[in-house]
A and B are shown apart, each in its own frame.
Chain A
Amino acid sequence: MIAVPRGVLATIRMHGRETYPEECCGGLLGEIGDGARVRIVRAERIPNVSREPRRRRFAVDPRDYLRLERRADELRLALVGFYHSHPDHPAAPSEYDREHAFPFLHYLILSVAGGRPGEATSWVLSEDRGAFEREELLVEAPEE
């Protein structure tokens, strides 16, 4: 299970709306608590540098990855995963997503249909890399 505050999810949704019809992508910084319970604390935007059509592909520049790691260290957070949008496609990982996934990271996918952000889901690669396993995405209401 992974938890995300409503406000953080809102910034991801806004990013997906802005880059539509192209895919957006970004890093997820968070805290890893007891029992590997993960809570996303912030979403950091990353430029999509894919050289393939960006309506269907995203790629993160390795230098942006390293910057993100440093950013996480500065903020005393952990890099827990990445988010990206699927313009006009359901929020389910593609075969391409699975082939390119890195183990132990959480992959949050946001469907953006016709420019309107829709469902968000979270996925983790199985230990044998054979499949993406869906995990519960718990959206936390703002604290009163």
Chain B
Amino acid sequence: MPRVLLPTPLRPFAGGSTSVEVGGATVAEALGRLVAAHEGLRPHLYDDAGRLRAYVNVYKNEEDVRYLQKDATAVAANDTLSIVPSIAGGSPDPDPSPPALSNDEIRRYARHLIMPEVGVEGQKRLKSARVLAVGAGGLGSPLALYLAAAGVGTIGLVDFDVVDDSNLQRQILYGTADVGRPKLAAASARLRDLNPNVEVVALEERLTSENALSIVRGFDVVADGTDNFPTRYLVNDACVLTGKPNVYASIFRFEGQASVFWAEKGPCYRCLYAEPPPPGLVPSCAEGGVLGILPGLLGTIQATETIKLLLGAGDPLIGRLLLVDALSMRFRELKLRKNPDCVVCGPSPTVTRLIDYEAFCGVAAGDAAERAAAVVSSAPMAPRANEVSVEELKAMRDRGASFVLVDVREPREWAISDLKDSVKIPLGSLPQNLGKLSKDDEIVVYCRTGVRSGNAVQFLQQNGFAKVRNLVGGINLWAERIEPGMPRY
């Protein structure tokens, strides 16, 4: 029969015993029998609504049942359940008095104020809350808009991009008139118009290992709306090291995932993905595309989880990974466990300060993206040994030089723009198609902007192709500089 170990302060309610033998096949049943036998324990374990009190942790053997199946966790005859009080405390907060709501605010938030889960207290909590949105793009747009509308007092935005035509399909913070403007200038104006009670902290910089901790420390909740692995690991580690919850989502084409990573209460991103995928294996939205609505779907889930955390309401996505497939319109859920060997949030962490995340994620990918971006923005940059400029490619074609041109884009992209006489080998099928290329030939590889083709060049070099070069800036730069009639995308 499973037994329950009682903490010292509760033993008087069970006749002084240290442990009680109970029956039951699940945690809920075992605890139910415990309180049935020792009625005096009930008010100390359960609140009036019959839920386990917040300061009561239940461990099955050595594991917190919150990260197993909670109440439904199975217990066997030889299992021991331990009731462990959570012991915490601290000095008074510097500014414990919540802000008052003005009459204007009371009218604005009327639909919140009449909800039991929010009310005046909750709305004041939102007003005094500080949320950091990393990235003001597809996910950051609905996230920031809804947080501002909901009355979150301070919203920090980290982004250093300029609004581009191709953003408008999904980044609903921006309008056509904003194209060419810095994103944060446009976003701040939009959010202040939506709710002038909100303070927008515009952090127009790249989040780096140097500045991340000091930025993150100034906020209560961080929402990760980034689209690349180095920043995602950086945000995760900064949140773990500062004890902040990280409301995460990512999107690709018709699919998305969301979770709340909070190392104090559950797994972190590294518990789920200890290491990044090899560079180039997982295409970004810029390379693979994304349904414009999808960040709307996932960004509003992030906003919802953020508000719930701030209110302390409901069941947060901690320890759960929500998988969204918009094509089949199915929502599935995976249980996530804290990895006891996690290098950043485990009991003996080896990552105790921020590291070089570009290197951790494979420096070539980030580097190539940066070079491509720099070229597209017309910054002067001399091609490297394994690179070729669009002008040089034009000259090679004009003089009839002998070389093989390889297009590593996906078939759908060929219909948008195309370079004549190119061999079409989508990046994902390159390993199976090496036989189509000869190591004796001079090879130039291109894609849309030069990122995927950079990865292809690296891969080919590793496989013994010495005379292979990457077209810097890709077909988009070719269209801009060489063939102005060709569409860019």
Query: A55 vs B91: C-alpha distance in the bound complex, in angstroms?
Result: 8
- What are the residues of chain A within 8 A of B240 when measuring CB–CB? 51
With A51-B242, A73-B18 in contact, do A103 and B88 touch (Cβ < 8 Å)?
A: no
A100 in contact with B264 (CB, 8 Å) = no
Given A79-B7, A80-B8, A104-B10, A51 and B89 contact (CB-CB distance below 8 Å):
no
Q: Is the CB of B91 within 8 A of A94?
A: yes
Complex partner residue of A100 from B10, B89, B93, B263, CB under 8 angstroms: B89
Indicate whether A143 reaches chain B with its CB closer than 8 angstroms: no
A78 and B16 CA atoms in complex are apart in Å by: 11
**Given A51-B243, A73-B18, A95-B96 in contact, is the A103-B9 Cβ separation under 8 Å?**
yes
- Across chains A and B, the number of contacting residue pairs, with CB separation under 8 Å, is 104
- Closest chain A residue to B11 by CB distance? A78
A20 to B315, CA, bound (A): 36
Instruction: Verify if A39 is at the interface (C-beta below 8 Å from B).
Output: no
For A128, give the chain B residue with the smallest CB separation: B43
Contact pattern, B 275-302, Cβ under 8 Å of A = 1, otherwise 0: 0000000000000000000000000000
B86 within 8 A of A: yes
Q: How many Å from the CB of A64 to the closest CB on chain B?
A: 9
Q: Tell me the complex Cα distance, A94–B89, Å.
A: 8
Determine the chain A residues whose CB is within 8 A of the CB of B57 once the complex forms. Answer: 62
A8 at the interface (CB under 8 A from B): no
Known: A62-B59, A79-B7. A102 touches B90 (CB 8 A): no
Query: CB within 8 A of A97: which of B18, B82, B85, B90?
Result: B90
Total A residues in contact with B, Cβ cutoff 8 Å: 40
Q: Interface with B: A85-93, A114-122, A134-142, which one?
A: A85-93
Q: Mark A67-83, 1 if CB is under 8 A from B, else 0.
A: 00100110000111010
When each residue 22-60 of chain B gets 1 if its CB lies under 8 Å from chain A and 0 otherwise, what string results? 000000000000000000000010000000000101010
A65 to chain B, nearest CB (A): 5
Which residues of A sit under 8 angstroms from B5, Cβ to Cβ?
69
Q: Which residues of A contact B85 (CB under 8 A)?
A: 65, 102, 105
A93 to B86, Cβ gap below 8 A? no
Given the known inter-chain contacts A95-B96, A103-B9, please indicate yes or no for A84 contacting B242, CB distance below 8 A: no
Please give the distance in Å from A100's CB to the nearest CB on chain B. Answer: 4
- A104–B89 touching, CB < 8 Å: no
Measured CB to CB, the closest approach of chain B to A104, in angstroms, equals 4
Q: Is the CB of B87 within 8 A of A78?
A: no
Cα distance, A58 to B86, chains bound together (Å): 11
Report the nearest B residue to A54, measured CB to CB: B90
Q: Say yes or no: A50-B55 contact (C-beta < 8 A), given A62-B64, A102-B9.
A: no
Q: Which of A23, A65, A86 has the most CB of B within 10 A?
A: A65
From B10, B62, B88, B243, give the contact of A60 (CB < 8 A). Answer: B88
Interfacial chain A residues near B59, Cβ < 8 Å: 62, 66
Q: Which 10 A-B pairs have the closest CB atoms?
A: A51-B243, A104-B9, A57-B90, A97-B89, A60-B87, A102-B85, A89-B91, A94-B92, A79-B8, A59-B88
A-side interface residues toward B, CB under 8 Å?
23, 25, 50-53, 55-60, 62-63, 65-66, 69, 72-73, 78-80, 82, 84, 86-89, 93-97, 100-105, 107
